Amino acid sequence: MQTITDIKKMKSFIKEARKKGKTIGFVPTMGYLHSGHLSLVSAAKKSSDVVVVSIFVNPLQFGPKEDLKKYPRDLERDKKLLAPLGIDVIFSPTAEEMFPPDFSCYAEETKLSKGLCGKKRPGHFKGVITVVLKLFQIIKPDIAFFGAKDWQQQSIIRKKVKDFHLDVEINTLPTVREEDEVAMSSRNSYLSKKERKASRILYQTLCFIKEMAENDEKDIKKILKNAKKLLKSEPLFKLEYLEMVDPETLDPKDTADKPLVALIAGFIGKTRLIDNILIR
Ligand code: PAF
């Protein structure tokens, strides 16, 4: 396993691998890896000859009041976690390498990114798809792996691949959960013991919604009203949004008669958490 920080070196590594007819699997991350990331890496390893994991805390996707500075970073820890998985390369460029001072081109999605997290974090998805487009250009993967926890992110990336005719297959893998079913997230490391316990309310609420919808309650307004009552039972949680939408178009729905995804976002203290669940 080698660590490459230079874009030119990364590109020539890929060129050599391609010459030998190897397929490339890619897992983009912002580091501080957890079992969710490692499940993506294992899937990449199974599907591809060469596996590249990028570790890059992308400044473009953080708002001015967000946690870019304090976002957890520990490359040595990440290397130790990745070493046993037999990957080929960690691509870990600096911010200057990815975004030199004269950088001026961005990719933007204008529909799926309007609601949900996009509404609460203006510019976030523009930052995500710009960096992912750059990473795809550098690594030229056959398959790239994303977690279902960031449902809106993977929907927008799929749309970008379609709209820009990118030759990469997007594979979305299920959210990996802790023993108490809290979704794994690098941001869980910010939570105190009490806050960590309170964070269970996100998935509990999503399970409540799924059960109601799958037990023939079709009225989404009613389902969400009841779910919000449940959320009030956790005083540490401050809701940002709770919505039930079409899994592909992300359009909000009134009736639970087709497959849906329920998504939740909110704060526990200063930590912003998200989660989601697929329904039928
Ligand atoms: O999901 C993430 O960790 C990031 O948004 C990604 C896809 C690595 C882009 O910076």
**Residues 14-44 pLDDT 10s:** 999 999 999 999 999 999 999 999 999 999 9
Alpha helices by DSSP H, listed for the chain, are: 7-19, 35-47, 75-82, 95-98, 116-120, 124-139, 151-163, 193-198, 200-214, 220-231
| pLDDT for res 280 | 84
Annotation says 124 is catalytic: no
pLDDT tens sequence across 193-216: 999 999 999 999 999 999 999 998
Q: How confident is the model at residue 94 (pLDDT cuts 50, 70, 90)?
A: very high
Question: If you take atom 5 of ligand 1, which residue's CA is the nearest one?
Answer: 128
pTM: 0.97
Atom of ligand 1 nearest to the CA of 150: 1
| pLDDT for res 85 | 98
CA 125 to centroid of ligand 1, rounded, Å: 10
pLDDT tens sequence across 232-273: 999 999 999 999 999 999 999 999 999 999 999 999 999 999
Domains defined along the chain, listed by start: 2-173 (3.40.50.620), 186-273 (3.30.1300.10)
pLDDT tens sequence across 100-128: 999 999 999 999 999 999 999 999 999 99
Residue whose CB lies within 8 A of the most ligand 1 atoms, among 128, 152, 161, 187, for a mutation test: 128
Beta carbons within 10 angstroms of residue 126's beta carbon = 19
